[in-house]
Amino acid sequence: MILPSQTLLQPADRLIVGLDVSDRRSAESIVAELGDTVRVYKVGYQLGYAGGLDFVGELVRAGKRVFLDLKLHDIGNIVEKGIAGIAGLGVAMTTVHATPQVMRAAARGAEGSGLLVLAVTVLTSLSEDDLREMGHTETAAALVERRTRQAMEAGIGGIVASAAEAAAVRAIVGPDRAVVTPGIRPAGSAAGDQTRVMTPREAIAAGASHLVVGRPILDAPDRLAAARAILAEMA
């Protein structure tokens, strides 16, 4: 699946709130608090393995778009079947690690469905020192660009990268592919465990189609006000 040009998306379609909590009741409370202001939610390991996979179906039935962030990385046959199963859940987006074999299998698994498969290039928590420790000789930026080109060759619908690499990724993928950027921090927010962060305004200007925001909303004293402030900055 390929998106319409990012310029046609409304801010509420581009903000993804990460439900990074450890129990379903907390997730339900957050969704109720944010109401119609937030349309897209990310469910990852933390919530997914704590009863959140059942909650995904409820979100879909309630008209929310769900980004199921599982970062699949396995042999091709398993990835292909796993992606086909995820497509059957009715979620909008999911992730795989950006290795060529995995991406080709994921593209096959999503074929004919409305599922947008995103390739995770380099985690936003990784620094240059971390990459060297892992054995990479490329910089984060160079590694992201190489993996982005491989994702396009594999037929993947979009890319997950830090906002710092969004402009370079956008130049490679063109206007109609998703560029999803985690590590978004409004001005004055703590970076936490993220190392390559940007504000919402900067990320949109750099070419991001979607922004993933977790703690700046979840930890805010008024979550609804925090979400609205981010949407206003995106606009």
Q: Is 76 annotated as a binding residue?
A: yes
Q: Does 215 belong to an annotated binding site?
A: yes
Nearest to 103 by CA among 117, 90, 116, 92: 117
Q: Find out whether 64 is annotated in a ligand binding site.
A: no
Rounded-to-integer distance, Cα 29 and Cα 3, Å: 30
193 annotated ligand binder: no
Q: Is 185 marked within a binding site?
A: yes
Buried/exposed code over 10-40 (b: 16+ C-beta within 10 A; e: otherwise): ebebbbbbbbbbeebeebeebbeebeeebbb
Residue in 23, 54, 64, 69 annotated catalytic: 69
Question: How would you classify the pairing of strands 93-97 and 40-43?
Answer: unpaired
Q: Which of 13, 64, 74, 130 is catalytic?
A: 74
Give the span between the Cα atoms of 117 and 88, in whole angstroms.
13
- Binding site annotation covers 124? yes
> 150 a known binding residue?
no
Q: Known catalytic residue: 71? A: yes
* Cα separation, 174 vs 153, whole angstroms: 13
* Catalytic annotation, pick one of 71, 81, 130, 176: 71
Rounded Cα distance, 180 and 3, in Å: 12
- Identify whether 69 is a catalytic site residue: yes
| 199 marked ligand binding residue | no
Confirm or deny that 78 is annotated as ligand binding.
Answer: yes
Return the active site residues. 69, 71, 74
Known binding-site residue numbers = 20, 42, 69-78, 124, 185, 194, 214-215
Known binding-site residue numbers for substrate = 20, 42, 69-78, 124, 185, 194, 214-215
